[in-house]
Amino acid sequence: MKEDVEISLATNDDIQELACLFEQEGMIHRAAMAGFYKQSEDENEYLKKVNKRFADAHNVILKAVCNGKICGFLCMYVPTPDQALDYLIYPLMASVTDICVDEQYRRRGIGKMLMHAAEELLREKGIPAMELYVYQFNEGAKSFYDSEGFQPLDLRMYKAL
Q: Does domain 5-146 correspond to CATH entry 3.40.630.30?
A: yes
H runs (alpha helix) in 105-158: 110-124, 139-147
Map out the domains of the chain as residue ranges. 5-146
- For the stretch 88-98, pLDDT in tens is 777 788 999 99
pTM: 0.84
Is 125 buried (19+), middle (13-18) or exposed (0-12) by CB count in 10 A? middle
- pLDDT tens for residues 141-158? 899 999 999 998 888 888
User: Which pLDDT belongs to residue 87?
Assistant: 74
Our CA dihedral for 143, 148, 149, 152, rounded to 10 degrees, sits at: -40
Residue type, 114: L
pLDDT score, position 42: 62
Distance CA 17, CA 3 (A): 19
Report the alpha-carbon distance of residue 128 to residue 119 in Å, rounded: 9
- DSSP conformational letter for 159: -
pLDDT of residue 1: 45
Give the whole-angstrom CA distance, residue 27 versus residue 21. 10
Residues of the chain short of pLDDT 70, as ranges, are 1-3, 30, 32, 34-42
